[in-house]
Chain A
Amino acid sequence: MKKNWWKILCALFLVYVIVAGFLSDVPHLPILHETIRNQYFHVCMWFAMITLLTTSLIFSVRYLSNPKMNNDIIASEAARTGIFFGTLGLITGSIWARFTWGAWWTNDVKLNGAAITMLTYLAYLVLRNAITDEQKRGKVSAVYNIFAYVMMLVFILIYPRMSDSLHPGNGGNPAFSKYDLDSTMRMVFYPAVIGWTLLGVWIMTLRIRIQKIKLQTEL
């Protein structure tokens, strides 16, 4: 039970987020209206994804310096769970965009960045499946993972600053910049980020354990 305190925290935070997310007061903003509450759900998907992909990167680097099967399993399962949360983020974002910006897909830097990230990590999975030898698979996919992560980071960090975006904080949009994200929203938003991220980590650990069992039973 001592080891599982963060799972309890995750459950408590998520239930709190759903209750408070719907019942708390939010700023009254044009265009957004009640959809501003999506911030407690849609935005958190990206936080979870980035956390998982960063975990994947860390274990890829560790695999290169210490080629143990364990590191490779964690790297690949973290990437898979990250892709899952990224897909949820894309779909929820698409729905939200339809009812605020008027289209399912807009040519926005953040959307394109997210789509490219998804494509990159899907390519990572294809690469993994194309190599049968385990040692080689771990090494080659770790190299690609590091390469991909750095390019993705450049795309996500630098590129949005170079051009306008429909997303808040870029190009003067009526949305929650840091001035609009008022203290009541913060009270829900921060637990939401932590809760959803922990959920992602929980699912990831489950997948890792199952993968390890598979490895053990095959031997």
Chain B
Amino acid sequence: MKKFLATSFLLIISCFLFAQEKVEMADELRSSGKIYVVVGVLVTIMVGIILFLIMIDRKVSDIEKKLKNKA
């Protein structure tokens, strides 16, 4: 009985400790506001890629139109 009590006590303690364990996240980056720099860079890259795609798309449409007129 004593053993059982001791084990269950330890188990409860360990569960408790596990729940308390803090999962480390990049909170510092967020609190210092530096994360916005990263987001800004990535948004720039994404917008750049999309603009680039739009340009290619237009060029292709242009060539298609010219071919159509020729034919």
Contact = CB atoms under 8 A, between A and B. Distances in A.
**A contacts B directly (C-beta below 8 A):** yes
B46 A216 contact: no
Interface residues of B, number: 23
Contacts, number: 52
A52 interface: no
Contacts of A44: none
27 contacts: A7-B54, A7-B57, A10-B50, A11-B47, A14-B46, A15-B43, A15-B47, A15-B50, A19-B43, A22-B38, A22-B39, A23-B35, A23-B39, A30-B23, A33-B23, A33-B24, A33-B26, A34-B25, A34-B26, A203-B53, A206-B53, A209-B60, A213-B60, A213-B63, A213-B67, A216-B67, A217-B67
Which 3 residue pairs spanning A and B have beta carbons closest together? A28-B23, A11-B50, A22-B39
Interface of A: 7, 10-11, 14-15, 18-19, 22-23, 28-30, 33-34, 202-203, 206, 209-210, 213, 216-217
